Structure 1
Amino acid sequence: MKKFDIRKIRLKTMDIDQIDDRMLLINLYATQAITFIIGFVWLLFQRRNPFRLFEPGIDWHFVYWGIGLAAAVIALDMLAARFVPDEASDDGGVNDRIFRHRPVWHIAVLSLVVAVCEETLFRGAVQYHIGPYWTSIVFATIHVRYLRHWIPTGLVFAISYALGWIYIKTGTLLAPIIAHFVIDLVMGLVIRFRREA
């Protein structure tokens, strides 16, 4: 039997165009699963019940907070798209590859998976330890495809901070999940149905 040697592992940078559609989806779902597992386990180490974070509370005002924040972010993003040059908001074509040829139902599933997984880790677990400001710095940093330009990095930071704020305000993870889901869904649909100039 051949012995495994960790020193022989080599990492190389790949361009988004070098990854086929199937591998792109596998990577996306795998990273979201890892994100959710880390968040869930972290919550257990904090001796907190992960399922209690998803309770709606006594009223449903968290829905209004989630949808309201999503509407504000979408309006801001549309405004930025109108005045900010394309090269200043370029993500390397990742979002286009993810959403451009995807059916609407799959865009909705992707948006829901990303919202639940990322909010469980960042708002549920990380924010409990380091607060919304530092959580937003970490959140913006892991969205590495935006780091080449300060405008999308700033927007990701601001959105993350707002997601943390509505989580604190409502006391339920459902508010930032709704906002994150609606933002990703609408932006995915915009990419999907956008006409080429």
Structure 2
Amino acid sequence: MKKFDIRKIRFKKVTIDQIDDRLLLINLYATQAVTFIIGLIWILFQHRNPFLLYALPSGWKFLLWGLGLAAAVIAVDLLVSRFVPEEAGDDGGVNDRIFKNRPIWHIVVLSLIVSICEETLFRGAIQHNLGPYWTSIVFAAIHVRYLRHWIPTGLVFSISYALGWIYIQTGSLWAPIIAHFVIDMVMGFVIRFRRET
């Protein structure tokens, strides 16, 4: 039997164009599953009940905060994309590949999964230890495809900080989940239905 030699493992840089749609989706769903599992484990290590994080609060305050933040972020993002050159916001074509040819129902499902998984880890777990500022730095760093340009990096940091702030204001994880979901879904629709010039 041949021995496995870890030194023979080679990593090769792959561009988004070299990944087929199936592998892209597998990667997206796998990373979100890992994000969610790490978030739950982290919450358990904090001796907190993860089920309580998902309890729906009474009243509509959390919904208004989530929808209000989503509307503000979408408005700012659309303004930025109107006045800033496209190269300044380039993410390497990842968002186009994820959303451009996706059916509407799949954009909704992807947005929901991403918002629940990422908010569980970042607002539900990490922010409990680090606060919204350092959590937002980690959140921006995780979105590595934006790090080549300061405008999208700044936007991701600002959005993350705002998500953390509404979590503090409402005391409900559902406020940032709703905001994250609506932002991703609407921006996914913008990419999906954008006319090529």
Give, in angstroms, the shift of residue 56 of structure 1. 2.2
Q: Is 1:188 the equivalent of 2:195?
A: no
C-alpha deviations, 1:75-108, integer Å up to 9, x for none?
Answer: 0000001100000010000000000000000000
- DSSP-derived class of the 2:164 partner: helix
1:124 equivalent in structure 2: 124
Contact 1:70 1:182 in 2 (8 A): yes
For residues 40 and 9 of structure 1, the distance between their equivalents in structure 2, rounded to whole angstroms, comes to 31
For residues 87 and 13 of structure 1, the distance between their equivalents in structure 2, rounded to whole angstroms, comes to 21
Give, in angstroms, the shift of residue 3 of structure 1. 2.4
Give, in angstroms, the shift of residue 11 of structure 1. 1.4
For residues 117 and 71 of structure 1, the distance between their equivalents in structure 2, rounded to whole angstroms, comes to 21
Q: CA RMSD in A?
A: 0.7
C-alpha deviations, 1:111-146, integer Å up to 9, x for none?
Answer: 000000000000000000100000000000010000
For residues 57 and 26 of structure 1, the distance between their equivalents in structure 2, rounded to whole angstroms, comes to 34
For residues 47 and 5 of structure 1, the distance between their equivalents in structure 2, rounded to whole angstroms, comes to 40
Q: Is 1:73 the equivalent of 2:65?
A: no
1:29-108 map, 5 Å: 29-108=29-108
Normalising by structure 1, we get a TM-score of 0.98
For residues 84 and 22 of structure 2, the distance between their equivalents in structure 1, rounded to whole angstroms, comes to 32
What amino acid is aligned across from residue 119 of structure 1 in structure 2? E
Contact 1:54 1:174 in 2 (8 A): yes
1:15-26 map, 5 Å: 15-26=15-26
Contact 1:136 1:157 in 2 (8 A): yes
- DSSP-derived class of the 1:110 partner: helix
For residues 27 and 133 of structure 2, the distance between their equivalents in structure 1, rounded to whole angstroms, comes to 28
Give, in angstroms, the shift of residue 43 of structure 1. 0.4
Aligned residues: 197
For residues 58 and 96 of structure 2, the distance between their equivalents in structure 1, rounded to whole angstroms, comes to 40
